[in-house]
């Protein structure tokens, strides 16, 4: 299976930080956010990844490319731990790039993948969330896809005050963690939301999605919404994600996630805990 990672957005929620650098390259602790997402695809067994980029996104390509000067320097200065890490980034997967020419929304960005995908079901991973779990989120969806053969999307309960930021599903529970989806609404008002189950940005999509994307009109925000195209598919399952999600779609959530993820690193966690306690006094 191939994966598609849309990374063409303008990052307006992070301005001015994203004026001259892609939001996907903002670090969460010691890695750019997009590296976490690529790592999730790779640990799900995917080695063919298409990143949908746009203007001003060159540093994403550089990040996943080899860097001979840096490797030479690290080799000669005996910093072999960094060397191995740097080399492994460029060897993780075959990464391809295509540019979305105009920012017309997530659905339109996915449509840019049509030629590369070539008629097979494919995974989509959005970069606004880092998903941590024993079985990677995308692999959890792949397992359901293997059983049912149709489109599967990852969902999670969303608190009321966040409903308006998500695509929300309406569905019938068919087992502990699986729903048969009957409808989906992109960013509904709380009172119009059919449930509190939100789409978290991980999908296995049937290739027919491309035809439906070309059929739909612009939706919320005047954008071609993937959620609106999903509504037209015959069969979709929603799989409750089993793991921990870190939202990094806006500055405050990004900061919280950065702290949480830093706290998982033994080399900094004690110092960070002490510092946080001190400033909170």
The residues binding ligand G1P (CB under 6 A) are: 106, 126, 128-129, 166-167, 186, 198-201, 225-227, 249
The set of residues, in sequence order, having a beta carbon less than 8 Å from that of 164 and lying 6+ positions away, is 187, 188, 189, 190
Nearer to ligand G1P, 87 or 260 (CB): 260
Residue with tokens 């295509």: 98
Residue number closest to ligand G1P, CB atom:
167
The whole-angstrom separation of Cα 173 and Cα 153 is 14
Nearer to ligand G1P, 9 or 136 (CB): 9
> Cβ 128 to ligand G1P, closest distance in Å?
4
Nearer to ligand G1P, 166 or 210 (CB): 166
* C-beta atoms surrounding 220 within 10 Å: 15
> Cβ 169 to ligand G1P, closest distance in Å?
9
* C-beta atoms surrounding 239 within 10 Å: 21
> Cβ 162 to ligand G1P, closest distance in Å?
10
Nearer to ligand G1P, 126 or 216 (CB): 126
Interior/surface letters 83-107, b for 16+ CB within 10 angstroms, e for the rest: beeeeebeebbebebbebeeeebbb
The set of residues, in sequence order, having a beta carbon less than 8 Å from that of 99 and lying 6+ positions away, is 8, 52, 53, 54, 55, 57, 112
Nearer to ligand G1P, 32 or 228 (CB): 228
Residue with tokens 């590369």: 116
Are 69 and 95 contacting, i.e. CB atoms less than 8 angstroms apart? no
Nearer to ligand G1P, 74 or 258 (CB): 258
> Cβ 174 to ligand G1P, closest distance in Å?
21
> Cβ 191 to ligand G1P, closest distance in Å?
18
> Cβ 150 to ligand G1P, closest distance in Å?
18
């Amino acid at each position: 299976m191939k994966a598609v990672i849309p990374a063409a957005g303008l990052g307006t929620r992070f301005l001015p930080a994203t004026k001259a650098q892609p939001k996907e390259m903002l670090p969460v602790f010691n890695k750019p956010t997009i590296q976490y997402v690529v790592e999730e695809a790779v640990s799900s067994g995917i080695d063919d990844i298409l990143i949908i980029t746009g203007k001003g996104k060159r540093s994403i390509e550089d990040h996943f490319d080899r860097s001979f000067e840096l490797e030479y320097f690290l080799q000669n200065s005996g910093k072999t731990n960094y060397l191995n890490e740097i080399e492994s980034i460029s060897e993780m997967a075959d990464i391809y790039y295509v540019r979305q020419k105009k920012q017309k929304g997530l659905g339109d960005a996915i449509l840019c993948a049509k030629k590369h995908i070539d008629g097979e079901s494919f995974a989509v991973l959005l970069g606004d969330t880092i998903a941590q779990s024993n079985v990677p989120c995308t692999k959890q969806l792949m397992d359901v896809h293997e059983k049912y053969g149709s489109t599967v999307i990852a969902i999670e309960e969303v608190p009321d005050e966040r409903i308006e930021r998500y695509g929300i599903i309406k569905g019938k529970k068919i087992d502990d963690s699986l729903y048969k989806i009957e409808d989906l609404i992109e960013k509904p008002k709380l009172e119009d939301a059919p449930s509190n189950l939100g789409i978290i940005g991980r999908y296995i999509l049937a290739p027919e999605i491309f035809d439906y994307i070309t059929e739909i009109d612009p939706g919320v925000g005047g954008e071609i919404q993937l959620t609106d195209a999903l509504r037209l598919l015959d069969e979709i399952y929603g799989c409750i994600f089993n793991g921990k999600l870190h939202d990094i779609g806006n500055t405050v959530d990004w900061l919280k996630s950065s702290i949480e993820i830093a706290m998982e690193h033994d080399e900094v966690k004690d110092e960070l805990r002490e510092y946080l306690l001190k400033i909170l006094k």
